[in-house]
Amino acid sequence: MNCYLLRRRCFWILVVAWLVAPKFSLAAEKPNVILILCDDLNDYVEGFGGHPQAKTPNLTRLAQSGVSFTQAHCNIPICGPSRASLFTGIYPHHSGCFGFTKWDGYEVLKNSRTMMDHFRAEGYETLGTGKLMHHMVRQEWKEYGNPADYGPFAFDGENKIAHPDVPPPFSEIGAVDGSFGPLVNLAGRTTPAGKPIRWQTGGWARQRPLRVDAQNDRDLTADEMNGQWAVDQLQAHADEPKQKPFFMGVGFIRPHTPLIVPKRFFDQFPLDSIELPVIRPDDVVDTHARSIRGIPSGADGPRSEDMGTHLFNTLVESYPSQDAALRHFIQAYLASVASVDEQIGRILDAVDNSSLKNNTIIVLSSDHGWGMGEKNYLYKNSLWQESTRVPLIIRAPGFSKPAGVSTQPVSLIDVYPTLVDLCNLSEETTKNEKGHSLDGHSMKPLLQSPEHGEWNGPEAALTALYKWRMNYDPAQESYSLRAKEWRYIRYENGREELYLTTEDPHEWTNLADNPKHQKTLQKFRKQLKSRIPNSGSPIPPQPDFKPKKVAAVKPVAKPDAEAWKNQYFSKHPAADTNQDGTLTWSEYKAYREKFDPPAKPNRSTTKK
């Protein structure tokens, strides 16, 4: 063969190789990363089998270009500690962070690099907006857009209140957990006392008016502002492609309560057409979650009351029937999910219609799920499927299998090491010897081969349970293991639940007392014991609880009491009736007597 023909053949070989090769090489350059995090988003997403009427075309579009993990689970099903675990890559039982104390007060976490801090140390520009970590530390980001905003809230001139369409007693729960409905012009709407109602929005401490004159003439909601901020940043980076790669976090608040979004999203789900979840009557009877709730007899402090049961029972009490109650709430939830999907679509458009398309990894997930009446429970913070499972979609252009679906149980703890692996970053994420290395495992093999990729992580996803405490002993908390075919739950009091999920996907039948399944039970007991600290093991250093300084003439509350009052405030912001950002003891007592009375033992469902 002469030299001309040889050169020509080599030329065409190179052309064909370029055409079939991935459009970027993960080993050759640093891809951009966008992490989109929704709040309280369960499996009511198309393709995840949650609700048949869910409308999420943009999440579907993302899934078609990436891999969906249909058995992804959070590591603790409540926002503060879940986000701390996700962004540090450290399990609660290694950090001690099971609760709502600020994450950077934990010795292990403050001496470990957060995801964004590690990307910054590796040469990335870090940008964020919205609710990402529950307690934001501004220094963790180079640039930050908008702080967390839980609005819109209805406002009567003195206090935030529930949406005026919500009937009592559910509306009496408050402006956050007791509120849902369309964002409409409130002109002429008043409270029963005759006070005019208007809209506000903002964080817990500060609110601002939100103008809503008409559906097409109003201020932007917080999620719309965060969507717009992300689009503006992406367009700017696409126009200057030679700058540093970026890591962007976008935190959307919906479908967190209050479930208030523009009316056009409610119109997509006519109330009388809403399909209800399959709920088995008395399904809660063979469970043990309620056996650990409540505070010690005679104690005067915030309890880990069965909030999910309280919300469910109060909602049902507020409507003519259980079906009617759930239809109203589910309509608002589906509308909220659809509103977030629209903002995600704007981000996808900004990426896909620019130079960023082939060099930008996108990760979409939630901090935890949400129960929708199953087991008479309407909330997060349970160890059942509805609370622990989260949607997880990862698109890595040129690497992840389009429209791939993985059923391997994974958890949010695996997101950080996966991005480290995909972006070729250092695996050393501790700041010093007081920190902790990443606990999770890279899902990279499952992105290439969702069905058959080699998984080096554990067999089951591990989830802990939040319960209010002054200090946490990791060996004594409640945990769940979700394997491919089973869910195992062990509560702090030693009681257990076991579900064969391949035959019982709704987790209706607790098999823990069934003699036929004792070998399986023993297997999971052993597995859990191997993954969490043993009794007597050193407890991770936890933050000091100190009372705020007060004038000497005023009685000073005990440090523990002041700390749990602050914890209670973080969960019940409406208790601060004068909205001055501080919860007084008188406000706490008045609120608790009216809206949050001590729980009574439920002897019909609590086994002894």
What residues have CB less than 8 Å from 474, skipping those under 6 apart? 92, 93, 94, 96, 98, 532, 533, 537, 539, 540
pLDDT digits (tens, 9 = 90+) for 64-81: 999 999 999 999 999 999
Band (22; pLDDT cuts 50, 70, 90)? very low
Q: Which of 426, 499, 250 is nearest to 350 (CA)?
A: 250
Residues 463 and 383 sit within 8 Å (Cβ to Cβ)? yes
Average model confidence (pLDDT) for the chain? 89
Q: Which residues pair with 144 in a beta bridge?
A: 128
Q: What is the mean pLDDT of residues 181-187?
A: 98
Q: What is the mean pLDDT of residues 125-130?
A: 98
Q: Which of 192-206, 445-459, 566-580 has the highest mean pLDDT?
A: 445-459
Checking if the pLDDT of 255 tops 60, the result is yes
Q: Is the per-residue pLDDT at 94 higher than 90?
A: yes
The answer to whether 154 and 165 have CB atoms below 8 angstroms apart is: no
- CB-based burial of residue 346 (10 Å sphere; 0-12 exposed, 13-18 middle, 19+ buried)? middle
Residue 478: pLDDT above 90? yes
What sign results for the dihedral spanned by CA atoms 80, 81, 84, 89? Answer: negative
C-alpha span between 368 and 38 (Å, rounded): 9
- 470 compared with 93, residue with greater pLDDT: 93
Taking only the tens place, the pLDDT of each residue in 482-530 is: 999 999 999 999 999 999 999 999 999 999 999 999 999 999 999 999 9
Query: Could you give phi then psi for residue 504, rounded to 5 degrees?
Result: -135, 65
Delineate the domains of the chain, giving CATH numbers in brackets: 31-531 (3.40.720.10)
Confidence of residue 8 (pLDDT cuts 50, 70, 90): low
Please say if the pLDDT value at position 20 is more than 70: no
Say what the pLDDT of residue 358 is: 96
DSSP letters spanning 1-19: --HHHHHHHHHHHHHHHHH
User: pLDDT for 392-420, tens place per residue?
Assistant: 999 999 999 999 999 999 999 999 999 99
Kindly report which listed range (243-257, 283-297, 338-352) carries the lowest average pLDDT score: 283-297
Instruction: Quote the strand ranges of 63-104, DSSP E.
Output: 67-73
Strands 404-406 and 67-73: parallel
Q: Tens digit of pLDDT for each residue in 323-340?
A: 999 999 999 999 999 999
Please determine, for residue 598, whether its predicted confidence score (pLDDT) is greater than 50. Answer: no
Q: How confident is the model over 385-398, as pLDDT tens digits?
A: 999 999 999 999 99
- Mean pLDDT value across residues 272-288: 96
42 in Cβ contact with 386 (< 8 Å): yes
- With bands split at pLDDT 50, 70 and 90, how would you rate the model's confidence at 9? low
